[in-house]
Structure formats: structure tokens, C-alpha cells
Structure 1
Amino acid sequence: MDHEKVGALAHRCHRALEPLHAVIYFAPEAEQRYTSAGLRPGRMGYFASRSAPMGAVGPGVVGATFYNFSPELIARHIPRAWTLAGPEKVVAARFGAADAALRRLLGDAVSAPEVAEAATLAREATEGCTIEGRPLYAGHAELDWPSEPHLVLWHAITLLREFRGDGHVAVLAANGLGGLPALVTHVATGKGFLPAMAKASRGWSDQQWADATAELTAAGLLDDRETLTEAGAGLRRRIEEQTNAADTGPWLALGADKAARLAELGRSLSRTVVAAGAFPPNVFAKGAPNT
């Protein structure tokens, strides 16, 4: 396959599959499982559950790999989380939450042949992932595979997502965008979180957001309406292209036909979970992640 075409395919597959992974960040089952494991209610479950496969890491490692979160917000929860529940217990709680959430959102479709087919294809795609320079992916890749098809699918999508995310972080750093500027410019594309949700969920104050916006405006990347200038739009476009280029491994391994089939299956299943209310309103600029 042509490299540019593979990059475009990687982007399409990511968009089709992402909602199936992202249910874990909004499902009430997640909060229930994390607090039952011993964690405190609120953001602690998110930071602990996503970083737990890397072990009992400190706030610096979480900040480096999650990238666009306020260090102050992370430090409120990590490393205290590990004094309340060890990483293995948190990982088990996360898989339990994914299991319960997907069963609820997919309903009878959770046992459909399409889920098993998608799981087989997604797992095959992960064989094209490599660990070099991918710390968050590498941690998740060392976990044991679950046995049930819907959890195999969810875990495979998680691996594909964190593999792409690690590459994206490297691209952002190479293009000179730190965590908060990266978030501000992403919001300005109109394809991600709405501004209020971005600030609240990532832990940035209004003043910190305003300061970053002023710096980006002075750099010519935003205009006085806080929208991307031609230079800013070009930078975000370049970042997306480079992220796609860094994400070709899984899709080269899977091949064009199988990748297209996985995207088709993922898109259908994603629409099912979105229709079932997986995501709250007024969070994303277009209603739900990547749909």
C-alpha cells in the first residue's frame, strides 16, 4: 500500500474504533469498580486505571504520557492512588468496568458474530505495533489478553489507541507544542472537546488557558477570536499527517481489505454504543468522539 494511503486508512480506523474504547471514561460502571477497588471517587480512577499497566508510576510519568493534563491535577491523585489500590487491582477493575459497560451498551449485540470478527481483526492489527518509544502502549501490551470476544476487541482497540497516542505525543513535542498549547489548538479545530469541558477535564484554570491562548496568538497560530490562523491550521494539519504516518504499522500488518472491514464493523458497533447513550451531551464539539 502507498504510505500516504496507509496513513489515511489508519486515521479512518482510529475514528471508527475510538468510541468503543472511550466508553470506559464515561460509564458509571467505571466509577463503581474503581471505588470498590479502594480508589477515591472522581478523577483518581481515570489517572490510576490508564497508567496502572505501567506500574506504580509517579505523577511525572503520568504527565509525560498523558501529555495535556495539568500537572497539579495529576499530583492530586498520583501517587496517592497506589496507597489505596495496587496497579494489578486497578487493572482488574478497569477490565471489569469495560465488560459491564459494553454488555449494557451493546445489549444482545455483545455476543454477535460481528463482535468476534472485529475482535479477531483488531487483535491481528496489534501484531504490527512496536514498543520503541511507546511507553503507554508498552505497559498495556504486557497485560494478559482477556478471553471473551467483546473484551478482546476492547483491549485490542486500547492497544491500537495507545500506540497511536504515544506517536501523537512524539509528533506534538517535535512540532514544539507542549501539553496545554496542544490542547488549546486541538479545541480550536472544532473536532474535539468543547472549551469548557477541555479546561475542566484536563485541570487547567481560566487564567492558564488565557495565557496559553495569548502566547499562541502572539505566535500567529490563533487569531483574536481564538480560532486557528492559516499557520495554525497548517500546523494542526501537519501534526495529523505525521501522526498518521507514525501509525501505519498495525494497518500494514492487517492489510487494506481487512482494515476496511474492521473499520466497517467498528463504525457500526460505535454507532450502537453512541445511540445507547455512552457519551453525555455538551462535551464534544460534534456530539461524541470520532463519530
Structure 2
Amino acid sequence: MDRAEAQQLASRAHAALEPLHAFVYFAPEVEQSFTAAGLDSARGRYFAGRAAPLGAVGASVVTATFYNFNHRLVARHIPHAWSVVEPAELVKLRFAGAEAALRRLLGDAAASDEVTELAGLVREAAEACSPEGRPLFAGHADLGWPDGPVAALWHGATLLREHRGDGHIAALVAEGLPGLQALVSHIAQGNSFRAEAAKKLRGWTDEDWAGAEQALRERGVLGDDGGLTDEGRAMRAALEERTDHAAAGPYRAVGAEKSARIAELAKPLSRAVRKAGAFPRELFTQRS
């Protein structure tokens, strides 16, 4: 498998699998269990749930590994969350909530042969990932595999997503894009969060956002209309190419046939998750 094919397979598999991980951030089953445990803030639940596999780390570690959040927002919730619920308990709650939510979203398909097959393939790919330079992936990879294909599918999709995400952050750092500028340039592509939702969720003020836009205009990345320039589109395309290259290792390891099968199996399951209302429409642009 040459470099171009490996990158293409990594990109296809990521697009197909991402909803089978990301629903967890909006799942009422997870939210309710975290709230019952004492985490009464939506942002606190997000930071603590995703960072719990790292242990009781400080706000700086969470800001660094999540990358595009305002540190002031993170510090309002971390490390306080660990005094409310221990990380190990949050990991258990998150696994249980994720499995319950995925079963609900998939309906009868949760018991299908396709889910069982995909869970096995995703586990094979995830276990082929390298942890070097990937702290968030490594924290999640240290967790034991859950029983049953539905929970294993979510965990495997999460591992592959965090593995890719750590590689993406490395590409952003190499490009010299701080977290907020990375977020603004991503939003400017028009296929992610709406800008107002991104500001609120990531903790940025209008002034912060305007400053990042100005910095990107000075770099030639954004035009006066707030959209990406040709140079900006080229930069974002190059970042995705580097990310795909860094994420290709597990797909090389399992081979082209299994990699293609992962995308083939995951696509209809992800469509089912979206159709079941896993993601709030008001947060995303029309293209999402």
C-alpha cells in the first residue's frame, strides 16, 4: 500500500467512523449519569469525561491535549471535577452511558452481524496504533476493552479518533497555528460548528475571536469576507493531508481490504446514528 492509498483509506475510515464516537458528547445517558455523580456543568462533564483516562491531571494538560479551548474555561472545571468524581469512576460511567446510547441510536442494528464484524475490525486497527507522541490516545489505550461488540465498537472508534486527533494537533503545532486560530480557520471552511456555537462551547469571547480572525488575515489565510483565501484553503488541505498521513499507520497494518471494509460497514451505521438525532442540528452548519 503506497502513501496516497494509505492516506485515502485513513480519511475514508475516519469520516465513516467519527459519528460512532462523537455521539457520546451529546448522549443524555452519559449526561444524566455524570450529573447524578455530581458534575452539574455541561462543560465540566465534557472535560472530565474525555480527560478521565489521563487520571487526575491539571487544567494545563487538558488544554494542551484538547488544544482549541480557552484555558480559562478549562480551569473553571479542572481539577475541581476530580474532587467530585474520581477519574476511574467517570471512565466506568462513560463506558456504560456510551453503550446504552449507542444501543438506543442503532436500534435493532445494535444486535446485527455488521456491528459485530465492525467491532472486530476496529479493534484490530486500534490495537495497531502507535502511542508515541499521542498522549490523549495513550490514556484511552491504557483502558481495558469492554465486553460486547457495541461497547467495543465505541471504544475502538474512540481510540482511532483520539489517535488521529493527537496527530492533527502535531500538524497544527508544526504549522504554527495556535488553538483558537486553528478553530477559526476550521470553522471558516463552513462544514463544522456554527461560529457562535464554537465560541460558546470553546469559551472564546467575540473579542478573542476577532483577534484570531485578524491574525489569520495578516497571514493571508482569511479574506475580508471571513472566508478562507486560496492560501488558506491550501493550508487547510495540507494540514488534512499531514493528518491523514499520521493517521494511516493502523490502516496500513490491517491492509487495504479490511480498511475499506471498516468504512463500508461504518457508513450506514453512522447514518443511522445521525438519523436517530444523535447530534443537535442547531450547533452545526448546513453541510454537516
Q: Alpha-carbon deviation of 1:157?
A: 0.5
Q: Alpha-carbon deviation of 1:132?
A: 0.5
Q: 2:127 corresponds to which residue?
A: 127
Q: Partners of 2:33 and 2:136 in 1: how far apart?
A: 22
Task: Tell me, yes or no, if structure 1 residue 189 matches structure 2 residue 189.
Answer: yes
Q: 1:81 corresponds to which residue?
A: 81
Q: Alpha-carbon deviation of 1:287?
A: 5.4
The answer to whether the 8 Å contact 1:33/1:96 transfers is no
Q: 2:105 corresponds to which residue?
A: 105
Percent identity over the alignment is 55
Three-state SS of the structure 2 residue aligned to 1:246 is helix
Q: Partners of 2:97 and 2:9 in 1: how far apart?
A: 30
Q: Partners of 1:156 and 1:237 in 2: how far apart?
A: 26
Q: 1:250 corresponds to which residue?
A: 250
Equivalences for residues 98-247 of structure 1 within 5 A: 98-247=98-247
Three-state SS of the structure 1 residue aligned to 2:130 is coil
Task: Tell me, yes or no, if structure 1 residue 52 matches structure 2 residue 52.
Answer: yes
- TM-score normalized by structure 2? 0.98
The answer to whether the 8 Å contact 2:190/2:287 transfers is no
Q: 2:283 corresponds to which residue?
A: 283
Aligned length: 288
Unaligned runs of 5+ in 1: none
List per-residue Cα deviations over 1:105-158 (Å, max 9, x = no partner). Answer: 111111111100000000010122011100000000000100110110100000
The residue type equivalent to 1:135 in the other structure is P
Q: 2:69 corresponds to which residue?
A: 69
Q: Alpha-carbon deviation of 1:40?
A: 2.0
Q: Alpha-carbon deviation of 1:52?
A: 0.5
List per-residue Cα deviations over 1:228-250 (Å, max 9, x = no partner). Answer: 11111111011000001101111
Q: Alpha-carbon deviation of 1:285?
A: 2.1
Q: Alpha-carbon deviation of 1:17?
A: 0.3
The answer to whether the 8 Å contact 1:128/1:252 transfers is no
Q: Partners of 2:127 and 2:94 in 1: how far apart?
A: 23
Q: Partners of 2:100 and 2:119 in 1: how far apart?
A: 17
The residue type equivalent to 1:208 in the other structure is D
- TM-score normalized by structure 1? 0.97
Q: Partners of 1:108 and 1:119 in 2: how far apart?
A: 16
**C-alpha RMSD of the superposition:** 0.9
The answer to whether the 8 Å contact 2:191/2:287 transfers is no
Q: 2:33 corresponds to which residue?
A: 33
Q: Alpha-carbon deviation of 1:224?
A: 0.5
Greater alpha carbon shift after TM alignment, 38-47 vs 197-206: 38-47
Q: Alpha-carbon deviation of 1:38?
A: 2.3
The residue type equivalent to 1:248 in the other structure is A
Q: Alpha-carbon deviation of 1:201?
A: 0.9
The answer to whether the 8 Å contact 2:54/2:140 transfers is yes
Q: Partners of 1:166 and 1:38 in 2: how far apart?
A: 29
Q: Partners of 1:203 and 1:188 in 2: how far apart?
A: 18
The residue type equivalent to 1:68 in the other structure is N
List per-residue Cα deviations over 1:37-81 (Å, max 9, x = no partner). Answer: 222232111000100101000000000000000101101100000
Q: 1:2 corresponds to which residue?
A: 2
The residue type equivalent to 2:168 in the other structure is H
Q: Partners of 1:127 and 1:108 in 2: how far apart?
A: 28
Q: Partners of 2:5 and 2:197 in 1: how far apart?
A: 33
The answer to whether the 8 Å contact 1:31/1:41 transfers is no
The residue type equivalent to 2:137 in the other structure is Y
Q: Partners of 1:41 and 1:203 in 2: how far apart?
A: 13
Unaligned runs of 5+ in 2: none
